[in-house]
């Protein structure tokens, strides 16, 4: 890996799988303790919940699962990144924004897990896989997004790349939209709520109230937010909670996030999370290095 400008990207919900963390537990004794502490904070056995297919994709469970797993990778690699790269820029996709804030030491592990727990619980009030659905759409080459095309129970949740968007909403409305608008390949996502849409406004209010007493620390590294592309480094730490609340019901501007980061002459992108996802959204003409850290084997450089 080079020692120039680095961007770390943190994976969001939908990347979870039952065996997350098992390989790290076998290698690091402290990881076993982390899962024990996490289970105490969450009020249930986290590893048992992961192995239960009825819980794995439910918002209130999958969000803590992903954060805890990502925190392990972060704690193993954080010092290495700071020592070996001169400039670091962070961004996280949806839940990944919390992982990015944890990397930047805005909260310690226990504090951030509590916040993530609150997020999952708040968002779960509209978590119903029988009622809501999300699709990633691999757009046809000639399709140009027209926001007027959406509405009436169908929302754009993510602008992931020039080729992919994500829509969400009421299941019947979204499936009707899918039938009437053959704009590309529709891929169902393993989530249970209409994330990043107006349908999440009540969840955002509940979340904001739950975390109002959390004291975030000011970060000293660039971190581009999903919501309006705001850099956490440039706002007061007193605004962090509000920023995270607004992020819950606003679209993820991922494509624009990457464009902003690329202006910093990034030489290396590294994705951190359970599965390789975000690296796939990088422009094809990016000529630097790119890696995904998802397993014990991926971190042999530390």
| CB proximity list for 125: less than 8 A, separation 6 or greater | 202, 203, 206
The half-sphere exposure of 117 on its side-chain side, counting CA atoms within 13 A, is 16
- The residue with tokens 């991926």 is 298
Torsion angle of the four alpha carbons 80, 82, 88, 93, in this order, in degrees rounded to the nearest 10: 50
pLDDT (0 to 100) of residue 169: 95
- The residue with tokens 């209130």 is 60
State the DSSP H helix or E strand holding residue 5, giving kind and residue range, or none if neither.
strand 5-10
Tell me: do 152 and 69 sit in the same domain: no
Distance from C-alpha of 93 to C-alpha of 10, rounded to nearest angstrom: 6
pLDDT (0 to 100) of residue 3: 59
| CB proximity list for 224: less than 8 A, separation 6 or greater | 89, 90, 91, 230, 231, 257, 260, 261
Tell me: do 183 and 206 sit in the same domain: no
pLDDT (0 to 100) of residue 2: 53
Q: Token digits for 273?
A: 């999370």
Strand partners, 184: 139
CA quadruple 197, 202, 207, 209: dihedral positive or negative?
positive
Domain boundary among 169, 188, 207: 188
Tell me: do 150 and 202 sit in the same domain: no
SS3 86: coil
Q: Token digits for 252?
A: 């993820």
- Could you report the per-residue pLDDT of 208-239, keeping only the tens digit for each? 999 999 999 999 999 999 999 999 999 999 99
How many Cβ atoms from other residues are within 10 Å of residue 168's Cβ?
A: 26
CATH number of the domain at 292, please: 3.40.366.10
- The residue with tokens 């440039």 is 234
Domain boundary among 149, 170, 188: 188
Tell me: do 78 and 172 sit in the same domain: no
Strand partners, 90: 8, 223
Distance from C-alpha of 221 to C-alpha of 219, rounded to nearest angstrom: 6
| CB proximity list for 148: less than 8 A, separation 6 or greater | none
Residue 48 main-chain phi, psi, to 5 deg: -65, -40
Tell me: do 157 and 216 sit in the same domain: no
Tell me: do 99 and 246 sit in the same domain: yes
Q: Got the DSSP string for 170-211?
A: EHHHHHHHHHH---EEEEE-S-SS--SSGGGHHHHHHHHHHT
Q: Token digits for 98?
A: 């919390």
DSSP conformational letter for 114: H
Extract the residue ranges of the chain whose pLDDT is less than 70: 1-3
The total domain count for the chain is 2
Global pTM value: 0.94
Tell me: do 118 and 142 sit in the same domain: no
Tell me: do 106 and 233 sit in the same domain: yes
Residue 198 main-chain phi, psi, to 5 deg: -60, -20
Residue 172 main-chain phi, psi, to 5 deg: -65, -40
Tell me: do 163 and 81 sit in the same domain: no
- Contact criterion met (CB below 8 Å) for 298 and 27: no
Q: Token digits for 291?
A: 């890696």
């Amino acid at each position: 890996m080079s020692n120039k400008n680095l961007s770390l990207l943190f994976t969001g919900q939908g990347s979870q799988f039952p065996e997350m963390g098992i390989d790290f537990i076998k290698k690091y004794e402290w990881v076993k303790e982390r899962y024990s502490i996490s289970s105490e904070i969450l009020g249930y056995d986290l590893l048992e919940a992961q192995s239960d297919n009825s819980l794995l994709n439910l918002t209130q469970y999958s969000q803590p699962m992903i954060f805890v797993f990502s925190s392990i990778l972060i704690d193993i690699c954080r010092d290495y990144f700071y020592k070996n790269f001169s400039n670091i820029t962070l961004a996280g996709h949806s839940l990944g924004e919390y992982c990015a804030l944890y990397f930047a030491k805005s909260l310690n592990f226990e504090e951030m897990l509590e916040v993530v727990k609150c997020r999952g619980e708040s968002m779960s009030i509209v978590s119903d896989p029988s009622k809501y659905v999300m699709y990633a759409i691999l757009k046809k080459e000639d399709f140009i997004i027209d926001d007027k095309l959406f509405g009436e129970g169908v929302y754009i949740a993510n602008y992931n790349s020039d080729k992919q968007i994500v829509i969400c909403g009421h299941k019947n409305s979204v499936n009707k939209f899918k039938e009437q608008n053959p704009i590309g390949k529709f891929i169902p996502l393993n989530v249970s709520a209409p994330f990043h849409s107006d349908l999440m406004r009540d969840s955002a209010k509940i979340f904001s109230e739950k975390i109002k007493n959390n004291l975030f620390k000011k970060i000293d590294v660039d971190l581009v937010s999903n919501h309006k592309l705001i850099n956490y480094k440039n706002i007061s730490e007193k605004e962090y909670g509000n920023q995270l609340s607004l992020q819950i019901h606003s679209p993820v501007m991922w494509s624009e996030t990457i464009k902003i980061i690329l202006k910093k002459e990034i030489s290396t992108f590294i994705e951190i999370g359970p599965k390789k996802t975000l690296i796939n959204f990088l422009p094809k003409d990016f000529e630097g290095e790119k890696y995904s850290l998802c397993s014990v084997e991926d971190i042999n450089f530390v």
